[in-house]
Amino acid sequence: MTTARIALATCSSLPDLEADDAPLIPALAARGVGAEPVVWDDPSVDWSVYDAVVIRSTWDYTGRPAEFLDWTRRVESVTRLFNPASVIAWNTDKVYQRALESAGLPIVPTIWLDPEQNYDSRRVHSRFPAFGDFVIKPTISAGSRDTGRYEAGVTPQRSMAITHAKNLLSAGRHVMIQRYLRNVDSAGESALVFFNGELSHTLRKGPLLDGPFRPGESEGVLYKDEVMTVREPSADELDVAQRVVAALPDLVPGVDGPLLYTRVDLIPDDEGNPVVLELEVIEPSFFFTLVPEAVERYADAIVARL
């Protein structure tokens, strides 16, 4: 007997969800919840027929964030959206990391370039580190798109980095410059997944960036395949991630308790201390294939909200 009906929002290229999320549907059905994949930008959808909309694989929004944010507000005007529209708006642009930093949380040290500053090549160049590898990425992105890694000591790479940054800036995009934290090469990245504020599981993601951004190459995506495994978080990682989760009500407008889902991505800095690379509260992958029992926890977490 179905007591609730929910939409799992996805993108048109994944109309049946990503394979990883497919077990969610039977897990919810077992709890009396009818869940169906729905394409977020399908204009024919009446969102008011759903008791709730849960965002999953809406990955094509990064090229049109305004349209996506408008959609979140429209959905929220007729039903409940997880995570809420205010959270999505806050998390879409990596400038949220400044709020984490102001709250005393450790982030990857970042130089921020504003497109309105009309940076010329020389001024862009002056912001690069003098030695070591560094990363250029836009503040609005996902899946390592438009992201590149450069060697400061190699002149042609510095030129490529200038071109990369200037192309982003002239497209009106805000740019982040970070030193490449090379401990990620051995330790990898840790993704701590929380449902309703409780740690569900932790994944290890292998290092992804191996060189400069090359336009056109796999749609501007530059990555080795994401190599994911399950890991246990260190005590320090758990501490930082829990502090991030606890800080969100103070940082995000309209949030008064734990979110349905939060993924905190950490990498070790040069001293080995975990720092926040990314906080994912829009459409994080949870890698249920690797942690099948987490599907049950997520389904329980959703049901607890209905």
Ligand X SMILES: Nc1ncnc2c1ncn2[C@@H]1O[C@H](COP(=O)(O)OP(=O)(O)O)[C@@H](O)[C@H]1O
Binding interface with Mg ion (CB under 5 A): 278
Picking from 237, 204, 210, the residue whose alpha carbon sits closest to that of residue 224 is 210
Pick between residue 56 and residue 297 the one whose CB is nearest to ligand X: 56
Q: What angle do CA 246, 176, 84 make, to 5 degrees?
A: 40
**Among Mg ion, ligand X, none, partner that 184 touches (CB below 5 to 8 angstroms by kind):** ligand X
User: What sign has the CA pseudo-torsion 194, 56, 185, 228?
Assistant: positive
Cis peptide before 83 (omega within 30 of 0): yes
Q: How far is the CB of 205 from ligand X (least distance, A)?
A: 6
Spatial separation of the C-alpha atoms in residues 36 and 102, rounded to whole Å: 40
269 binds, among Mg ion, ligand X, none (CB under 5 to 8 A by kind): none
With CB under 5 to 8 Å by kind, the binding choice for 110 among ligand X, Mg ion, none is none
Among 7, 53, 85, 142, binds ligand X (CB under 6 A): 142
Q: Where are the alpha helices (DSSP H) in the chain?
A: 24-29, 65-78, 85-91, 96-102, 121-126, 155-170, 184-187, 235-251, 292-303
Task: Note whether 241 binds ligand X by CB under 6 A.
Answer: no
Total residues binding ligand X (CB under 6 A): 21
Contacts (CB under 6 A) with ligand X, residues 191-230:
205, 207-209
108 is a site residue for ligand X (CB under 6 A): yes
Q: Does 68 bind ligand X (CB under 6 A)?
A: no
The CA-based angle 193-196-199, given to 5 degrees, is 35
Strands 261-268 and 274-280: antiparallel
- Per CB under 6 A, the list member of 143, 197, 220, 258 interacting with ligand X is 143
Closest distance to ligand X from the beta carbon of 206 (Å)? 8
Least separation, in Å, of the C-beta of 21 and ligand X? 18
Binding partner at 141 among ligand X, Mg ion, none, C-beta below 5 to 8 Å by kind: ligand X
> In this structure, are residues 195 and 288 in contact, taking their beta carbons and an 8 Å threshold?
no
Contact residue for ligand X among 178, 190, 196, 285 (CB under 6 A): 178
